[in-house]
Amino acid sequence: MAEDSNILINIRIPSMSGKRGKGMTSLTFVLGMVFFFFTFFDVNCNNQKLMSVSGIDLVVGMEKPTILGQTPTDDENDLKPNIFAVLALLSAAGAAIGIQASKRKARTWGVTFGTLSFLGMLGLYWNINAGVQEANGLMSADFKFPFYVSTIAFLAGTVISTRLKRRQEPISHPLSEDSIDSGQKEV
């Protein structure tokens, strides 16, 4: 045997591919979407609760509630759909569906749309806080548990998708023939 010969060995690390990996990743996005039906935040004025807003209210828009017996009469007072909430919900749906539907690019769907859904939630948080600060400090937004669960679920789905994508690539490590045979020489 030649002493300078090297052998290239490819080691494939098992991943959570197949139904188990896809299911766990999709489940995190579905969990985040389910929490859109719960209250995301309360709007308070001088420590008095004015209204509660769910994620779905932010996606489809809503009428302003009756405050102090005065009902808004025109459509200009309605709350329009928030672009960040729409982005987050649609991206999460795209991630969950894309992961299950695609065989070769499932993780790419998860990473791409998961990142968009997480960024949508961050944009929503900053957008709501900026809108509340325009009220000269009289109003405040009290974000609730479902908002944070949705945000963390979208981040978790993205991280899982990213990690699973990396694990599918083979790791190459060149070994010399001597290091393979050491300790296993026949007598």
In CATH, what number is assigned to the domain containing residue 91? 1.20.140
Instruction: Give strand pairing partners of 6.
Output: 176
**Would 59 be classed as within a structural domain?**
yes
CA 139 to chain centre: 29
Asked if residue 22 has pLDDT above 80, the reply is no
**Would 124 be classed as within a structural domain?**
yes
**Would 175 be classed as within a structural domain?**
no
Split into its structural domains, the chain has a count of 1
Average pLDDT over residues 85-110: 88
pLDDT tens string 61-92:
887 765 555 555 555 567 889 999 999 999 99
Q: How far is CA 51 from CA 43, 138, 155, in A?
A: 5, 15, 28
pLDDT tens string 158-180:
988 877 654 444 555 555 555 55
- Say how many C-beta atoms besides its own lie within 10 A of residue 150's C-beta: 29
Domain carrying residue 162: 16-64+78-168
**Would 187 be classed as within a structural domain?**
no
Q: Which of 134, 152, 150, 132 lies closest to 142 in space, CA to CA?
A: 132
- Side-chain-side CA neighbours of residue 56 (13 Å): 7
**Would 155 be classed as within a structural domain?**
yes
User: What does the pLDDT read at residue 166?
Assistant: 46
User: What does the pLDDT read at residue 174?
Assistant: 57
Q: One-letter amino acid identity for 128?
A: I
**Would 125 be classed as within a structural domain?**
yes
**Would 3 be classed as within a structural domain?**
no
Average pLDDT over residues 4-30: 70
User: What does the pLDDT read at residue 187?
Assistant: 46
**Would 183 be classed as within a structural domain?**
no
